[in-house]
Structure 1
Amino acid sequence: MLIPAVRSIATYVGVSLYVLIVAPPGMLLAILFGWKDVLYVLGHVGVRLGLALSGIRVRVAGAQNVPHDRAAVFCSNHQSNVDPPILFDALHPRMHILYKAEIDAIPILARSFRLGGFIPIDRRNKEAALRAIETGAASIRTGNSFLIFPEGTRSRTADLLPFKKGAGRARRHAQGQFDHPAGHRQHPRGGTDRNGRARARESRRVDHKDSSADRGPARRGSDIDSKRVPERPSK
């Protein structure tokens, strides 16, 4: 237990220092020259730094299913705090994310996220959440790919939780433009085990016209396989 604890501390300290050092100049370049790509490059480097410090090894399967010629909405299960950074790094070089508004309590991260096109969603405020979804749909129509977690929170077991309505609402708001440029949605599946191994798997694409995509895992077993690598495998 000592080594994982040391790795966790090293990761938090290392990533925090990295953000404090590189985020201000990165944001300045983005504001002055519109170089938003700088923030994405720094973000990917930061994720890989965190994974290296924590000893997490990532294996990606099904990368051929990721569309590179159009925008997409990537819908993932959510079982660990490492899900967002791993998928951000593995799926798309300019991935946008709908993230929980609580992260805005960290000002430097909040400012970086906003400049990068990330959108906070306040799950406690229905009206604000709807506005965030509409903003995300508008961004999708301009060609940006998004990562969302339809369960709305982390699952404490290996089973998918019921989907929140936001994912389906985002699809309906954006579907007028889904054929061009955003025609598909992905369902990555991931998780980490006690040996520090992470798996990200992209399943088959679901067309935006398939309304069954809004119904959640109970009616969509063929689209999302609920079998995932648990954080703590049973003995």
Structure 2
Amino acid sequence: MSDILIACRTVVTYVVVLLYIGIVGPIGLAITLMFRWTAGLYALGHGGVWLALTLAGIRYRVAGREHVPGDSAVVFCSNHESNVDPPVLFEALHRRLHVLYKAELHKFPIMGTVFDFGGFVPVDRGDRDKAMASIAQGADSLRAGNSFLIFPEGTRSRTGHLLRFKKGGFIMAIQAQVPIMPVAVQGGRAAMRRGSAIVRPVRVSVRIGAPIPTKGLTLDDRDQLIERVRTEVERLLAEGSVWETGRSPR
């Protein structure tokens, strides 16, 4: 596809998604908040994500769904290499995922309200006491049966190589005694070049590994758990793209 067609496709994607957010969003948000209909909020979110990915030509394939243990709460732990990773995983994992997110995003009134209602947990990485309180809040949510998605690198890797894993999500999983699902996502880096708003069609690969249990672990086991999960994510990345194995797309 030529650069001109890709640019036109990007413009159409932005316009349609903004219309969805501007028209469907407020109406749906008002209804979900009025009736405390959390499932409706997630349906709106999945609808918007599906629309954006489809219009932009971003396709994904998933391997390892059989490892996910039914409706039990888990912590999905993924590497992070591109801006498209969060929406792809939100759609691919297809759960009512809760997320640990940067506390500064909570300053935006509408976004903060939506995140609070959706059960997302803000983390202030500059204040240890507040960060630990957020982790405890996340652990309570896990005990209540809610699954979380975390990006333990804390930021995107520019090279595709794993960065150092931060500890918060692992402490949360240990406190709640829920398994961690290692996830490897690849292929999204080509979607948006650095400094460009153009979204290019790409094929994203998502690999889910076998659950790593935390039952019986204590905070003293935290570093060993982090290393074990990191090693498994590296192994999944080394297996390469799911698109090369002939799996069916979404």
How does the TM-score come out when normalised to structure 1? 0.84
User: Partner letter of residue 80 of structure 2?
Assistant: H
The aligned residue for residue 181 of structure 1 is none
Distance 2:180 2:110 in 1: 31
What's the counterpart of residue 40 of structure 1?
A: 42
Quote how far apart the aligned CAs of 1:114 are: 1.6
Q: Which of 193, 202, 207 pairs up with 1:201?
A: 207
Identity of aligned residues (%): 46
Q: 1:10 aligns to what?
A: 12
Give the aligned partner of residue 111 of structure 1: 113
Q: Is the 8 A contact 2:181 2:212 kept in 1?
A: yes
Return the alpha-carbon distance in structure 2 between the equivalents of residues 106 and 48 of structure 1: 24
Distance (Å, rounded) in 2 between the aligned partners of 1:104 and 1:25: 21
The aligned counterpart of 1:189 is: 184
CA contact (8 A) 1:163 1:216 kept: no
Runs of 4+ in structure 1 off by over 6 angstroms are none
Contiguous gaps of at least 5 residues in structure 1 = 179-183, 230-235
Q: CA RMSD in A?
A: 2.2
Amino acid at match of 1:130: M
Instruction: Determine which of 207, 211, 214 is the counterpart of 2:226.
Output: 214
TM-score, normalized by length of structure 2? Answer: 0.79
Match of 1:72 among 71, 74, 77: 74
Deviation of 1:223 after TM superposition, in Å, equals: 5.3
Match of 1:89 among 88, 91, 94: 91
Shift in Å, 1:84: 0.9
Q: Distance in 1 between matches of 2:202 and 2:39?
A: 30
1:164 aligns with 2:176: no
Structure 2 CA distance for aligned equivalents of residues 54 and 102 of structure 1: 28
Distance in 2 separating the partners of 1:19 and 1:108:
12
Aligned residue type for 2:35: F
Question: Is 1:145 equivalent to 2:140 in the alignment?
Answer: no
* 8 Å contact kept, 1:23–1:112: no
Aligned match of 1:31 in 30, 33, 54? 33
State whether residues 187 and 224 of structure 1, in contact with CA within 8 Å, keep that contact through their aligned partners in structure 2. Answer: no
Encode CA deviations 1:65-93: one digit per residue, 9 max, x unaligned: 11223111100001111111111111133
* CA-CA distance at 1:216 after TM superposition: 6.5
Contact 2:182 2:232 in 1 (8 A): no
Q: What code does the residue aligned with 1:137 have? A: A
Which amino acid in 1 is paired with 2:208?
E
Q: Cα deviations across residues 164-187 of structure 1 (Å, max 9, x unaligned)?
A: 121222123222xx3xxxxx2111
What is the number of residues matched between the two proteins?
220
TM-aligned CA deviation for residue 107 of structure 1:
3.3
SS state of the match for residue 80, structure 2? coil
Closer/same/farther in 2, CA of residues 9 and 132 from structure 1, 3 Å limit: farther
